Amino acid sequence: MKKFHYYITTTKVLLDYAWIILSFTLAYFLRVAEYANEFPYVDFILSSKFSFMDYILPALYTSPLWLVVMYFANGYKVELQVKSFRHLQRIIFVCLVGIAIYIVTFFFLRMELFSRLIFVMIFMFSVLLIFNSHIVINTIAKHFYKRGIGTFPTLIIGTTREAQKLIGLLKENNSIHQPVAILDGYGTKLKEISDVPVLGKLNIFEDTIKKHKIEQIIQTDNLEQTINILNFALQNNLKYAMLPTLLGVHGKGSKVEEVEGVPVVRVE
């Protein structure tokens, strides 16, 4: 992982922890505010029955477990599309698990909670704060990606319509996958696609890898060369990906699954 990615991930983790604690704090003070007319506000907060410290300490202890769950749910992958419903679902799941851990810990310590509604408020605040925080951090990161900082220099194999669409999307979205060169095994009259130069055929494949310091290969065409390209990527520790259309699979009907632990591409 690049040093820049460590900074981004560390920032997300630290902010997520802060947002979780803030969610607990906001929920507590908003909930106890309903009783402010019946008790002196400071005395009520510091009272033994509704003690803020008894309430917040289990949150401080259990919040790191939220981050662990987020990690195993792939919530901190640098290549993640955070502005998506799928990532929102991931955060909802993490927050539900985190609150469940807090509840178990709270009652294991034989404490009594004065409100059940407070858990709903914690959930809403945590989901809202974490999701928007990830979007903001990702937006900031894209400004660096636009300047080539923290990106994966990518070689595109093929100049098909799908390849052109992919390159256009990567450039438009300032993607972490930065296309820097294009090769076409059959040759093409195109000189560039979305400002990415078409350098020639696959006979200059290895020279292109070295010259442009390629870290990732995305293959969209030249199926007959797949084994050679894939083996080269594996031997040189390069990332490799292919479009489903390379195998004649169109649309969104393909996904990676496991059959008895063996990864396969499922077409539906």
Residue with token string 């400004």 = 143
Instruction: Mark whether 165 and 137 lie in a shared domain.
Output: no
Question: What is the 3-class SS of the chain, one letter each residue?
Answer: CCHHHHHHHHHHHHHHHHHHHHHHHHHHHHHHHHHCCCCCHHHHHHCCCCCHHHHHHHHHHHHHHHHHHHHHCCCCCCCCCCCCHHHHHHHHHHHHHHHHHHHHHHHHCCCCCCCCHHHHHHHHHHHHHHHHHHHHHHHHHHHHHHCCCCCEEEEEECCCHHHHHHHHHHHHCCCCEEEEEEECCCCCCCCEECCEEEEECHHHHHHHHHHCCCCEEEECCCHHHHHHHHHHHHHCCCEEEECHHHHCCCCCCEEEEEECCEEEEEEC
Domain of residue 212, residue span: 152-267
**Of 120, 146, 172, which closes a domain?**
146
Q: Maximum distance among all alpha carbons in the chain?
A: 82
**Of 100, 115, 146, which closes a domain?**
146
What's residue 178's pLDDT?
Answer: 93
Instruction: Mark whether 196 and 251 lie in a shared domain.
Output: yes
What's residue 41's pLDDT?
Answer: 47
Is residue 154 within 8 A of residue 217, CB to CB? The reply is yes
What's residue 196's pLDDT?
Answer: 92
What's residue 67's pLDDT?
Answer: 96
Q: Which two tokens stand for residue 145?
A: 């990606």
Measured CA to CA, the distance from residue 62 to residue 103 in angstroms comes to 10
Measured CA to CA, the distance from residue 15 to residue 139 in angstroms comes to 15
**Of 118, 146, 174, which closes a domain?**
146
Q: What is the pLDDT of residues 65-96, one digit of tens each?
A: 999 999 999 999 888 888 889 999 999 999 99
Percentage of residues in the chain having pLDDT higher than 70: 82
Instruction: Mark whether 35 and 128 lie in a shared domain.
Output: yes
Instruction: Mark whether 102 and 41 lie in a shared domain.
Output: yes
Instruction: Mark whether 78 and 26 lie in a shared domain.
Output: yes
Of the listed ranges 203-207, 214-218, 228-232, 249-253, the one predicted with least confidence:
249-253
Closest C-alpha to 54, from 121, 114, 132, 119: 114
What's residue 107's pLDDT?
Answer: 78
Measured CA to CA, the distance from residue 75 to residue 90 in angstroms comes to 7
Instruction: Mark whether 115 and 181 lie in a shared domain.
Output: no
Closest C-alpha to 154, from 55, 36, 233, 92: 233
Instruction: Mark whether 20 and 78 lie in a shared domain.
Output: yes
Instruction: Mark whether 112 and 40 lie in a shared domain.
Output: yes
Measured CA to CA, the distance from residue 188 to residue 97 in angstroms comes to 53
Instruction: Mark whether 227 and 108 lie in a shared domain.
Output: no
- Provide φ and ψ at 250, rounded to 5°: -115, 160
Q: What is the pLDDT of residues 43-59, one digit of tens each?
A: 544 444 567 888 888 89
Total count of domains within the chain? 2
Q: Which two tokens stand for residue 151?
A: 């990106």
**Confidence (pTM):** 0.81
Instruction: Look at strands 262-267 and 254-259 and give their pairing.
Output: antiparallel
Instruction: Mark whether 100 and 159 lie in a shared domain.
Output: no
- Provide φ and ψ at 99, rounded to 5°: -65, -40
Instruction: Mark whether 73 and 120 lie in a shared domain.
Output: yes
Instruction: Mark whether 125 and 216 lie in a shared domain.
Output: no
Residue with token string 């999307």 = 169
Tell me the CATH number at 218: 3.40.50.720
Measured CA to CA, the distance from residue 102 to residue 61 in angstroms comes to 9
Instruction: Look at strands 192-193 and 196-200 and give their pairing.
Output: antiparallel
